[in-house]
Amino acid sequence: MALIDSFLVFKPTRKLIWKWVYPFMTRRLARSETLFLNYGFETVPPLAIPLSPADEPDRGCIQLYHHLATQAQRSLRGENVLEVSCGHGGGASYLMRTFQPANYTGLDLNPEGVRFCSKRHPLAGLRFLQGDAENLPFPDSSFDTVLNLEASHCYPRFSRFLAEVARVLRPGGHFHYADFRTTEALPEWEHDLATVPLEILQSREINAEILHGLDRNAARSRALVEEHVPAFLRDMGRDFAALPGSRVYDYFKTNQFSYRSYLLRKPGHTT
């Protein structure tokens, strides 16, 4: 059974698997300054958001963050923002520089990743902390916006994570969320999202945009796998990166995986 199957099936072991996998990935990929771990996003015609030359190589991955962040009518400017499972911090850096929130906290379970982020992204108002998505280390009503991108499939107790998001959001605050599930897991996923004390404002399946993003990133992702993943793990690495021709890529193409983006709001009014 490939890793992509095991974390979607065996809930009790997910955290143990990912507590090993992500530090391993960070130690390997930090050498190549890999700042993003998401699949990417592209439209037809191309989204073509303006990017600096330094950001241009990561366009596909940045565009997925841009899509996520721009779902609400209001801007992130001046807000207190939390990103849960911030990976290598590229998205946090882009959103901080582009949308200028007052403060941005990136939280991740991976201590290697947090150390990498703190060193690589020294921006005023941006901080990185080690912590658990199912037990967020913040007081109630701490944030105007919470983001979570392509990570919650790793959590053993997704409903617990959603409850924590609702707790730390201020009344009127927004939850920007995107991830994927197998077709078999869709009913439980939809039930959990429908029963959390947050109002779903938008929901959209973005498989086509994810596939275009994967195509855009394919050459770079393949090079990273070949350079940084040991030979005996490369088949797993190709699945993890969802390279064209891999099982995961085909799951998206045949709709055995559904990738969706959501915007949710906590009832009430901001103070």
150-184, pLDDT tens digit by residue?
Answer: 999 989 999 999 999 999 999 999 999 999 999 99
Residue 85 DSSP symbol? S
SS3 171: strand
Q: Residue 116's closest CA among 179, 56, 188, 31?
A: 31
- C-alpha–C-alpha distance, residues 177 and 161, integer Å: 12
CATH number of the structural domain spanning residue 249: 3.40.50.150
Q: What is the pLDDT of residue 227?
A: 87
pLDDT at 202 over 80: yes
**Cross-strand bridge partners of residue 42:** none
Question: Does some domain include residue 171?
Answer: yes
Give 245's contacts (C-beta < 8 A, 6+ positions apart). 238
Per-residue pLDDT tens over the stretch 84-116: 999 999 999 999 999 999 999 999 999 999 999
Phi and psi dihedrals of 145, rounded to 5?
-140, 140
Number of Cβ within 10 Å of residue 143's Cβ equals 25
Global pTM exceeds 0.75: yes
* 270: in domain: no
Domain assignment present for residue 43? The answer is yes
Domain that holds residue 182: 3-265
Evaluate if residue 26 carries a pLDDT over 70: no
Mean of pLDDT over the chain: 90
DSSP state at residue 135 = B
In a domain, 244, yes or no: yes
Find, among 267, 73, 84, the residue nearest to 166 by Cα. 267
Beta pairing, strands 80-84 & 199-205? unpaired
Q: What token pair was written down for 231?
A: 């030979």
Q: pLDDT at position 82, please?
A: 98
The one-letter amino acid at 255: N
| Domain presence at residue 271 | no
Q: Residue range 67-76: average pLDDT?
A: 92
Q: Residue 19: pLDDT band by 50, 70, 90 thresholds?
A: low
- 172 in a structural domain: yes
User: How many distinct structural domains can be found in the chain?
Assistant: 1
Strand partners, 199: 265
**H helical segments located in the chain:** 3-9, 11-29, 59-69, 90-99, 111-120, 158-168, 186-195, 207-228, 234-240, 247-253
pLDDT of 261 over the 90 cut:
yes
Residue 147 belongs to a domain: yes
